[in-house]
Structure 1
Amino acid sequence: MVIFAPIFAICAFASCGGYYGHLQVKVDCSDRRQSNLSIDIDFGYPFRLQEVHFKAPLCETKREEILFLDGDFSSAAQFFLTVGVFAFLYSLLATIVYVFYQNKYLKNNRGPLVDFVVTVIFSFMWLISSCCWAKTLSDIKTVTNPTQVLLLISACRAQQNKCMATREPLWSQLNTSVVFGFVNVVLWVGNIWFVFKETGWYKTGQRYPTRSASGKRSSEMRQRLYSESSFEQPEEGLGPQPSRQDSFNQQVNRQGSFNQSQVSLSLPHAYLGKPVNYDRDNKVSSQGPIIFVNKM
């Protein structure tokens, strides 16, 4: 936004300082002895209207009178133009620093702090000067109103004489200066936020944000629950851990299955001997090869 500040500042003070107003009236005397059909009244910046004079005819005699406008409005106009010029110079300097000396600008946080203070001051000055200039412009329009100017002429106070304005001043340029003044107010006030973000005050607030009492209580409760849950659970593993009885049963089953695998791998030993035949009375009738099985 600081890039547009020099442009609007130039438009504000140039439209005010470069104004030139022209008013033309005519006086037509009834006896036709003396008339002036073109009385020119010129005025402009710094609007010291009490120094603006013009000559008007006296219809009773052949002489002319010198008249002056009323009011000195130079203070408000010069104040508005001075604020515009200094705002233009500072915004131009700030733009150069932002573009070419960014590292020096951010060093030790002095640049943003100075920029913030100056921006606040110019915002306030633009507001005061724009309001004063708007009120002053309204007074200038009243003083230079053709009706008020004709009342200053002695010949126009007589009903038999004819007086009228042939040309009125244009106020579009001064109206534009007031508009640009308030545009600068909005521009500089909006720039306060962007400059404040570069200061250490904003960065400190972002680094250590303030929390309410309810937020602190909720965070403490979450921390307490997290610490209790982390104390009950073992360090290894993310899933649910089995109880002591279940782990003991799994260990016993694992040991039994290991013993069974060892037994199943061992083969029985067979021994051949003579066979033995038994009769009905369980007596040995004959003997043959006998097989002895050694069970493990």
Structure 2
Amino acid sequence: MAGLRVDFGLLLEPLGFIKVLEWIFSIFVFATCGSFQGETTLVVSCKGVVNKTVTAAFAYPFRLNTVAFSAPDPEGCGGAWTDIYLVGNFSSSAQFFVTLAVLVFLYCIAALGVYIGYKHVYQQNSKFPLTDLAITVITAFLWMVGTFAWAKALANIKMATGASMIPGIETCKAPGITCRLASVTSMKTLNVSVVFGLLNMILWAGNIWFIYKDTNLFNKSNIISQSPAMYSARRI
């Protein structure tokens, strides 16, 4: 009964097919967010320096407050230049988002292994579908929380690395120093990570129904709903 019986049939059903999509989409999440590397560049003019570019490189997990711009020249604009750090630490939202994707990736592999090799055990033991249902409900909620938190953090990252950061830089307000934004690395891949976060949330929420149908909770509700009709038929 509990032996391995390889059967790919469940992958053709919604329960298995959606799990494959969840596995694939989780890969896109940590690939697009966790591997991001970018930089923001300013053009600085100061004492003895004209239109010198200074760069601050940032990457996942986006602890921007630890990232400083390079100095425009060895003399630091005649002593007027002080280190400029980016503002904000968005590591908690980014790491939660990526960690969730990694855990989901691992769980999907385990679940697919059960679906393919132990389908008969999954269907005969009521504890497996109930556990699967509980994990799916929790994961759908975590995707919602993680995605919206990361979307908010991403909006702040764009502000902290874009032109809107310049008015808040004290060094650029010093006499004889001017700064302007030259370029910022495109964050399209981070936008994509948010999209895949939303897709994961929808997939996991939708999958609740298909897993629920395999639990004894669904079977009990069917029995209860059918009982009045059966009783009426007997009386007739």
TM-score of the superposed pair, with normalisation by structure 1: 0.67
Q: What's 1:8 paired with? A: 25
Amino acid at match of 1:115: D
Counterparts of 1:110 and 1:211 in 2: how far apart (Å)?
A: 25
The structure that is strand-richer by fraction is 1
Structure 1 residues 101-136: Cα deviation after superposition (integer angstroms, max 9, x where no partner): 101212331110110111111111111100100111
State the Cα distance separating 1:62 from its structure 2 match.
Answer: 4.9
Match for 1:167 among 165, 183, 186? 183
The structure that is helix-richer by fraction is 2
Counterparts of 2:96 and 2:178 in 1: how far apart (Å)?
A: 40
Correspondence list, 1:102-113, <5 A: 102-113=119-130
SS at match of 1:54: coil
SS at match of 1:128: helix
Q: Structure 2: any 5+ residue segments left out of the alignment? A: 1-17
The yes-or-no answer on 1:123 pairing with 2:140 is yes
Structure 1 residues 208-227: Cα deviation after superposition (integer angstroms, max 9, x where no partner): 42577xx799x37x835xxx
Aligned length: 216
Structure with the greater alpha carbon radius of gyration? 1
Q: Identify which of structures 1 and 2 has the higher relative contact order when contacts are C-alpha pairs closer than 8 Å and 6+ apart.
A: 2
Q: What's 2:70 paired with? A: 55
Percent identity between the two aligned chains: 37
TM-score of the superposed pair, with normalisation by structure 2: 0.83
State the Cα distance separating 1:159 from its structure 2 match.
Answer: 7.8
Return closer, same or farther for 1:159/1:169 CA change in 2, 3 Å cut-off. farther
State the Cα distance separating 1:151 from its structure 2 match.
Answer: 4.1
Q: What's 2:215 paired with? A: 199
Counterparts of 1:216 and 1:87 in 2: how far apart (Å)?
A: 43
Q: What's 1:254 paired with? A: none
Q: Structure 1: any 5+ residue segments left out of the alignment? A: 225-296
Match for 1:99 among 111, 116, 120? 116
